Amino acid sequence: MDLLERYLGAIARQLPEDQKADVTAELRDLLLSQVEEAEAGLGRAQTREELEALLIRFGHPLTVAGRYRKVQHLIGPEVFPFWWAGVKLSVLIVVGLYAVLLAVELLGGRAEIVMDDSAIPSLTAALVFAFGAVTLVCALIERFGKTAMLTNWKPGELPPPEGRTRSRFDIIAEIATGAVFILWWTGVVHFRNFIPDLGLTIDLAPVWKVWFWPILGYSVFELGANLLALLRPGRVRTVEALLLVRSLVAAAILTAIFQAGHWLDVSSLTWTPEAQQVAGEKFDRGMRIGIGVAILIFLGMAGVSGWRLRAAILSARPVGKALAA
3-state SS record for 124-189? HHHHHHHHHHHHHHHHHHHHCCCCHHHHCCCHHHCCCCCCCCCCHHHHHHHHHHHHHHHHHHCCCE
**Domain termination residue (choose one: 20, 50, 66):** 66
CA distance 1 to 207: 83
Is the whole-model pTM more than 0.75?
no
Give the count of alpha carbons within 13 A of 278, CB side only. 5
Highest mean pLDDT among 17-21, 30-34, 230-234: 30-34
Lowest mean pLDDT among 49-58, 116-125, 235-244: 116-125
Asked, for residue 127, whether it belongs to a domain, the answer is no
Asked, for residue 58, whether it belongs to a domain, the answer is yes
* Contact of 260 with 208, CB cutoff 8 Å: no
Task: Give the domain range for residue 295.
Answer: 191-325
Highest mean pLDDT among 139-143, 226-230, 314-318: 226-230
Q: What is the pLDDT of residue 302?
A: 93
**Domain termination residue (choose one: 66, 97, 117):** 66
Give 241's pLDDT tier (boundaries 50, 70, 90).
very high
Asked, for residue 225, whether it belongs to a domain, the answer is yes
Asked, for residue 168, whether it belongs to a domain, the answer is no
Asked, for residue 100, whether it belongs to a domain, the answer is no
Asked, for residue 278, whether it belongs to a domain, the answer is yes
Torsions phi, psi for 194 (to 5 deg): -105, 130
Asked, for residue 29, whether it belongs to a domain, the answer is yes
Asked, for residue 302, whether it belongs to a domain, the answer is yes
| Residue predicted with more confidence, 284 or 70 | 284
**Domain termination residue (choose one: 43, 66, 89):** 66
Give 250's pLDDT tier (boundaries 50, 70, 90).
very high
CA distance 304 to 292: 19
Give 151's pLDDT tier (boundaries 50, 70, 90).
low
Give 71's pLDDT tier (boundaries 50, 70, 90).
low
| Arithmetic mean of pLDDT, 56-78 | 78
Taking alpha carbons only, the member of 201, 207, 208, 210 closest to residue 184 is 208
Q: What is the count of structural domains for the chain?
A: 2
Positive or negative, the CA dihedral 247, 253, 259, 262 is: negative
